Amino acid sequence: MAALKSKIVVVPLGEVDFMMVNRLAADLGPVFNRSVDILKGMKLPEEAKNVIRGQYYAVVIMAKLERIKANAREKVIGVCEDDLYLPDKNTIIGYSDALAGTAVVSLWHLRQEFYGLPENDSKIYPRLYKESLHQLVHLFNISECRNPKCVNYFSNEMLDIDNKGKSFCDICKRKMVKLV
């Protein structure tokens, strides 16, 4: 049975804090009861860069991530430091495509310095963890939660991310049990 389980692959995109990526990979595995690989860093695709906006187009990045999948079951999550956007969103923290099995999370807004506050790793990592977990949950076809304390709560703002917990609510927990 184990061989049929989908692997999770974490891809550092561009220059990303490797310690943080490492920690993320180690923490995500047990939650989904999947093995997690960290791929050798991938450069952010030049064609995804919008020079005028100073941002990267998430759709192009997602397409690149989909191409590195070893099989259809694999779930790939990219982590980058740069600011991302979508056609209908000026900026995004994370994004996932359940059909493709890919997700991307940007540390851009998760970093304290974005808000003019001194950078604090103890705050950044929990945000990265919660946002990555939330996006990955989508890849396993579990919809987002309406409980603001649940890690699977849709968080559009930093305050929502900071306020939600690191674990699942009872409803999501039950869905996760079926999954793992």
Binding positions for Zn ion, 136-175, rule CB under 5 A: 145, 147, 150, 152, 169, 172
Kindly state the smallest distance separating residue 164's Cβ from Zn ion, in Å: 9
Minimum CB distance to Zn ion smaller for 25 or for 169 = 169
Q: Which amino acid is residue 81, in one-letter code?
A: E
Kindly state the smallest distance separating residue 146's Cβ from Zn ion, in Å: 8
By the 8 A CB rule, do 96 and 65 touch?
A: no
Minimum CB distance to Zn ion smaller for 91 or for 147 = 147
Provide the pairing of β-strand 84-86 with 94-97.
unpaired
CA distance linking residue 103 with residue 140, whole number of Å: 11
Minimum CB distance to Zn ion smaller for 44 or for 145 = 145
Which runs of E-coded beta strand occur in the chain? 8-13, 36-38, 49-50, 55-57, 75-80, 84-86, 89-92, 94-97, 102-106
Kindly state the smallest distance separating residue 40's Cβ from Zn ion, in Å: 34
Kindly state the smallest distance separating residue 147's Cβ from Zn ion, in Å: 5
Residues that bind Zn ion (CB under 5 A): 145, 147, 150, 152, 169, 172
